[in-house]
Amino acid sequence: MSVHSAIAPGQVAVITGGANGIGLAVARRLVDLGLRVALADCDAAQLAVAGDALGGKALLVETDVASRASVAALAARVEGELGPVAVLMNNAAIGGGGDILADPAGWDRLLAVNLHGVIHGLQQFLPGMITSDRPGLVINTGSKQGITQPPGNTAYNVAKSGVKSVTEGLAHTLRERVGDRITAHLLIPGFTYTGMTTRHFKEKPPAAWTPDQVAQTMLDGIARGDFYLWCLDNETSWEVDRRRVLWNAQDITEGRPALSRWHPDWKDVFADFASRE
Ligand code: NAI
């Protein structure tokens, strides 16, 4: 059975941040399924390595997703060389950022790449996908940090919260405009050993998943028709994740302080809630 009607031999896929990590793992799966894949990435050297890893089968387009003009040039190139896009994966992102007192330039860049990059991809590719009569699939890569909001890197949390909002809004818009011909999905990786994490760990930590495990979970979730493509890792179970999500939402409904999970008066209460059978 096919994963999704847009995932079929000869269809065109674009993956931003496709030169490494999760994007590259998904690219490998789509190439194996017979799609014509364009990798868009700002790292030219890594793009060349990724192109070789895919046996020269991908179109490589140096792109800065933070720039609307660069993403417009990407769309023109992909549509000109490969044809109309069926699968769009807005996945490029960077780390860094920090809390609200951190370097303002770092915040600007992080939001430009991690949030506006997704918006640019959608604004550039979606109109063509909507006006065509073909099946389409859109995956935006979010993060658990955009849902459970751990303190430390507020800039990253803000961007990933935005990606969640944009993708939820997109799913609604698509449902109203084209029914289920084009579907939208939010990919939520757990701790994954990728380019983003290799700078902190020389070898894959036991707690981390491989990018290929994320790609498999993503495809399985799409095949089931799930919107939230929730990934685990080797450290945190779904039950613990579920309690973290609930606890965050219940800060509002229970009148607790913001981020009470990390508040000295609430830490132990949360620990008890998280460990309950
Ligand atoms: P990665 O660093 O291996 O891949 C990200 C790719 O994006 C890189 O090839 C990089 O060159 C590219 N990129 C960065 N800025 C760009 C720009 N301005 N324009 C175009 N390309 C750009 O990292 P990973 O982990 O594969 O990241 C993929 C997605 O997964 C990201 O959205 C990240 O936030 C998300 N994620 C990753 C987690 C992890 O544990 N690795 C956990 C949760 C989410």
9-51 pLDDT, tens digit each: 999 999 999 999 999 999 999 999 999 999 999 999 999 999 9
Task: Give residue 169 CA to ligand 1 midpoint distance, Å.
Answer: 22
217-272 pLDDT, tens digit each: 999 999 999 999 999 999 999 999 999 999 999 999 999 999 999 999 999 999 99
What average pLDDT score do residues 56-75 get? 98
In angstroms, rounded to a whole number, what is the distance separating the alpha carbons of residues 114 and 234?
Answer: 25
In angstroms, rounded to a whole number, what is the distance separating the alpha carbons of residues 209 and 142?
Answer: 16
Same domain, 62 and 140: yes
Task: Give residue 12 CA to ligand 1 midpoint distance, Å.
Answer: 21
Same domain, 113 and 181: yes
Domain presence at residue 181:
yes
Same domain, 86 and 43: yes
Residue 52 belongs to domain spanning: 12-235
Specify the residue with its C-alpha closest to ligand 1, atom 12: 17
By the 8 A CB rule, do 149 and 104 touch? no
Model-wide pTM > 0.95: yes
Task: Give residue 257 CA to ligand 1 midpoint distance, Å.
Answer: 32
- For residue 160, give the ligand 1 atom closest to its CA: 34
In angstroms, rounded to a whole number, what is the distance separating the alpha carbons of residues 215 and 211?
Answer: 6
**Residues lining ligand 1, Cβ inside 6 A:** 16-17, 19-23, 41-43, 46, 63-66, 91-94, 113, 117, 141, 143, 189, 191-192, 194-197
Same domain, 199 and 273: no
Same domain, 114 and 201: yes
110-151 pLDDT, tens digit each: 999 999 999 999 999 999 999 999 999 999 999 999 999 999
Same domain, 128 and 72: yes
Catalytically active residues are: 156
Same domain, 83 and 167: yes
Domain presence at residue 276:
yes
Same domain, 40 and 173: yes
Q: In angstroms, how far is the first alpha carbon of the chain from the final one?
A: 37
The count of structural domains within the chain is 2
In angstroms, rounded to a whole number, what is the distance separating the alpha carbons of residues 89 and 185?
Answer: 9
68 three-class SS: helix
Q: Taking CA 135 as the corner, what is the angle to CA 130 and CA 137, rounded to the nearest 5 degrees?
A: 85
In angstroms, rounded to a whole number, what is the distance separating the alpha carbons of residues 200 and 143?
Answer: 18
Same domain, 270 and 168: no
